Amino acid sequence: MRIGLKVNTNRDEGYACAYKTAQAVLKHGAVPVLRPEDSGVFPSLDGVVYEDLLKADPDVIISVGGDGTFLATVSEYGDSDAAFIGINKGSIGFLAQIDEDRLDECVEKIVSGDYRIINRNRLCVQVYSKDGVLKGTDMCLNDCSIGRGAKLHTVKLLLKVDGQVAERFIGDGLIISTATGSTAYNLAAGGPILMPEMRDMIITTNCSHTLNSFSYVVSPDSTVEIVVEPFETPPLICLDGRDFVDFEDNDRVIISSCEKPLKTIAINPEGFFSVIRRKIIMKGSFYENG
């Protein structure tokens, strides 16, 4: 088995956690693969391979950082056939589920195949000009958000689902989320939580200039279209927090479910809602022990 490592050195200073991970991978009989730019960081470890992770064709890719590192890893290598998991060196660690104190135990389970796979839906996002010219296409695991630009003017968006007008929105923006992203920006904006295996898409308003806010949950087979109505300051579009394209009046954003899901490793015996309570709800709770 080949296990790729993508390391965020801002989170893992001096490759300390990555070193322990590579040690554990070797100990349990697998081959750790790091990127060429990491070459030579473990001179005392025999058996470490330095190779482009896409060309190396690893069975598993482990991100070392936080949830942001996990999302960046998926963005870069998500087209591979590898299964993904993350070691948490950040704050919440909802996607990066391996805690450092359980590292050896979790690596042993990965090498032995003692885990289950969760196939997670991703969003395919395309932006077209009003003349129908494709301006950009990309994918995201968590969410596509369209919101206020540099001068914080409200945005005006026409929302369509499968060709039907659903809403003409005025406010801070719209969030189109997967089940995976339902516990991120979507949740902060008041949207619903979906089980990670679900393929539905969520459309949630952000600070709508109406007397009520709303969320739509739509079929994974649906196509969501958002028309960016004329503006003074260009709104922003982000995919998993990454800037995407620059908007012009009447650009169209087309969002659909990707055909190929992302394989992620579930290794913790803890249930989904228990994790939500421990890592999200309790972060803002007054109760230390629940």
Positions marked active-site: 67
249: CB partners within 8 A, 6+ apart:
130, 228, 229, 230, 231
Burial of 286 (0-12, 13-18, 19+ CB in 10 A): exposed
By C-alpha distance, which of 98, 115, 110, 61 is closest to 83? 61
Q: Residues, the chain, total?
A: 290
Number of H helices, E strands in the chain: 6, 19
Q: Nearest 5°: phi and psi at 283?
A: -60, -30
**Burial zone of 14 (CB within 10 Å; 0-12 exposed, 13-18 middle, 19+ buried):** exposed
